[in-house]
Amino acid sequence: MMIRTGRLERALEHALRAPSVHNTQPWRWQLQGDVIKLFADFDKQAGNDRSRRDLLISCGAALHHFLVALAHDGHDAYVTYLSDLGDDTSLATITVTDAPPDPATARLFGAIERRHTERRRMSYRPIPTPLRDALVTSAQRFGARLVPTPQVREAFTVAFTEAAERERWIPSHTTELRIWSHQGVRGRVLADQRPPEDAAEFFVLTTAEDQTRDRLRVGEALSSVLLTATNAGLATMPLSLDPDGEVLRLDDVTFGHPQIVVRTGWPLAAPRTRR
């Protein structure tokens, strides 16, 4: 089917609100009629993201935001995921179809503007089991597992303390934070040295394999989890693993390959930022 370029451009504007590592938005889009191509932008790759894990997850989150915006506008699409990255930056091809969009996907649209990263203390109110299950289900649609486990909180407490002490002595790390995030998410969290004590829960998004497609799909799962949580009134905060995925030593508490952590809970205060 033919869809007006203006509608595609509006959907891409909503994709810009997707969470990305240090807010770098490391993606590029190419419009060819009803076909949209997604590319990785290596020029925006953070220096400490050597494996490109965070870059690919960011691109996947933008892809899902785009599909949600299309669904809200009444359009379905199917995605062709391309082969593993070499020097080629192509990630996926999205083709708009005549089929009706998935209503569950379209319902996430309103959360795109409301979602923001909550870095502050959250409420002591626990997340009810049905809502926790809904978050888990929202990740499963993309072949990812959202693993809730209290052991992650303990792991993060240790990791943040160790990382804060270690990176305090690395000038290049401080410089990179200024360049990429203007004292962004990771910088502020490390400055606190440990996550706040509240009832917020930590979930690990994992995949069975660890190829380019898996990381892209986990970015879609991340977006789905964040928007689902936002629609339910929860606050969220994505937390990157270290460049090699080892700093939290999560292999013994999760299944498959840990990709990214999501901290979520009920907000204590009104949002301060849009992102």
Q: How far apart are CA 88 and CA 148, in angstroms?
A: 35
CB 206 within 8 Å of CB 130? no
Residues 235-251 have a mean pLDDT of 66
Token pair 């977006």 in the structure block, residue:
223
Task: Say if residues 214 and 257 touch (Cβ distance below 8 Å).
Answer: yes
Q: What is the pLDDT of residue 176?
A: 43
In this structure, how many other beta carbons lie within 10 angstroms of the beta carbon of residue 238? 23
At which residue do the structure tokens 């089917």 appear? 1
> What is the C-alpha to C-alpha distance for residues 182 and 97, in angstroms, rounded to an integer?
40
Burial class (CB in 10 A: 0-12, 13-18, 19+), 82: middle
Does the structure show a pLDDT above 50 at 179? no
| pLDDT for residue 35 is more than 50 | yes
How many residues in the chain?
Answer: 275
Please give the CATH topology (third level) of the domain spanning 129-265. NADH Oxidase (3.40.109)
Pure H helices in 39-184? 53-72, 103-106, 109-114, 129-140, 151-167, 171-181
Indicate the Cα dihedral angle 41, 207, 159, 124, nearest 10°: 110
Q: Do 5-114 and 129-265 fold alike per CATH?
A: yes
Q: Are 105 and 67 in contact (CB under 8 A)?
A: yes
Instruction: For residue 29, give both structure tokens.
Output: 């889009």
Q: What is the mean pLDDT of the segment spanning 215-223?
A: 97
pLDDT digits (tens, 9 = 90+) for 86-142: 656 899 999 999 899 999 999 999 999 999 999 888 999 999 999 999 999 999 999
> What is the reported pLDDT for 5?
76
Model confidence at 252: pLDDT above 90 = no
What mean pLDDT is predicted for residues 80-85?
79
In the chain, what are the domain boundaries?
5-114, 129-265
- pLDDT for 245 equals 45
Beta bridge partners of 113: none
Q: What is the mean pLDDT of the chain?
A: 81
Cα–Cα dist 203/146, whole Å: 6
Q: Which fold has domain 5-114?
A: NADH Oxidase (3.40.109)
Helix (H, G, I), strand (E, B) or coil at 94: strand
Rounded-to-integer distance, Cα 77 and Cα 233, Å: 28
CA distance 26 to 55: 6
3-state secondary structure of 263: strand
pLDDT at 36: 95
* Position 28 pLDDT exceeds 80: yes
